[in-house]
Amino acid sequence: ATPFAFKPIDFSGGPNTFDAALGLTTAASTDNASPADDGYGQPNTHIYGDANSDGVFDDVNALLGLPVQKFGRTTKLTRGQITGINGTVTVCYEVISIFCVKAATFTNQFIIDAAGFSGGGDSGSLIVSDDGTASPVALLFAGSSTQTIANRIDFVLNFFGVTIDGGNNPPPAPVTDVAITSVSAPASVAQGSSANVVVTIRNAGNQNIAGSFDVTLQDATDGVAIGTQ
């Protein structure tokens, strides 16, 4: 996969709700289910407790005590129970000697009290309900030998504008689409003078851009091209 999008972390002391990123890959390189022999199978497309299908938990309090499971890189399939739904934790991201010099605070975290539920390398595992529906609940974030901290899956999915592939929908059709994300230029330019115009673009489709292409700046009044890069 290649980096596609990420949620910036506030290290100034302000609250964060999750730490996640997206990687761009292909259907040929990935699967949408945990292993059939020792996993929980395929996750549900719909998150747990979302009767109106708006992508948000209807009642987050209903998740307290919910049995959950996950399949991770290190500890494989494990089971536990959500014992906290509004946890606040401080995570250290950089240590010099024995001192933490860069930390971030996370709020609205799910807490799972189960020894061995997760281990180093399990971060990013999808946590689903252990009730026969495998409904997405959270994204595994951090933990210790006795506790696991998880980000709310509704926060993650809504921020990135994505959904869980539960196998109920066909994969999206190939789309090559380049979008302009910003344009900056001087407020005014004297006639005959040169000016730098900076255009920022990104690949908004689901296909790689194989070749080069031109970005042309046009005068909307006269309908003439001003410059091409």
- Asked whether 60 and 48 are in contact (CB, 8 A), the reply is no
Question: According to the model, what pLDDT value does residue 180 have?
Answer: 83
- Which has more pLDDT, 185 or 167? 185
Percent of the chain with pLDDT strictly greater than 90: 63
Bigger pLDDT: 28 vs 88: 88
Q: How far apart are the C-alpha atoms of 45 and 63, rounded to whole Å?
A: 18
pLDDT digits (tens, 9 = 90+) for 35-48: 988 999 999 999 99
Question: What was the pLDDT predicted at 171?
Answer: 59
Q: Is the pLDDT of residue 168 over 70?
A: no
Residue 208 CB neighbour total at 10 angstroms:
10
Confidence check: pLDDT of 7 > 70:
yes
Residue 158 backbone dihedrals phi, psi, to 5 degrees: -70, -35
Over residues 113-119, mean pLDDT = 93
Give the Cα-Cα-Cα angle 16, 84, 130 (nearest 5 degrees): 110
pLDDT digits (tens, 9 = 90+) for 191-201: 889 888 898 88
Report the candidate in 69, 85, 5, 81 with the shortest Cα–Cα distance to residue 34: 69
Question: How many distinct helices (H) and strands (E) make up the chain?
Answer: 1, 13
Residue 170 is predicted with a pLDDT of 61
- Report the pLDDT value the prediction gives residue 209, as an integer from 0 to 100: 80
Q: Give the chain's largest Cα–Cα span.
A: 72
Question: What percent of the chain has pLDDT above 70?
Answer: 97
| 68-98 as b/e: b if 16+ CB within 10 A | bbbbbeebeebebebebbebebebeeeeeee
Mean pLDDT on 52-69: 94
What pLDDT is stored for residue 88 in this prediction? 95
User: Which among 17, 136, 120, 22 is positioned nearest to 70, based on CA atoms?
Assistant: 136
209 or 151, which is more confident = 151
Say if pTM beats, i.e. exceeds, 0.75. no
CA atoms within 13 A on the CB side of 70: 29
Q: Which amino acid type is present at position 76? A: K
CA 195 to chain centre: 38
- How far is CA 227 from each of CA 189, 195, 224, rounded to the nearest angstrom? 15, 11, 9
Instruction: Give dist(CA 155, CA 16) in Å, integer.
Output: 11
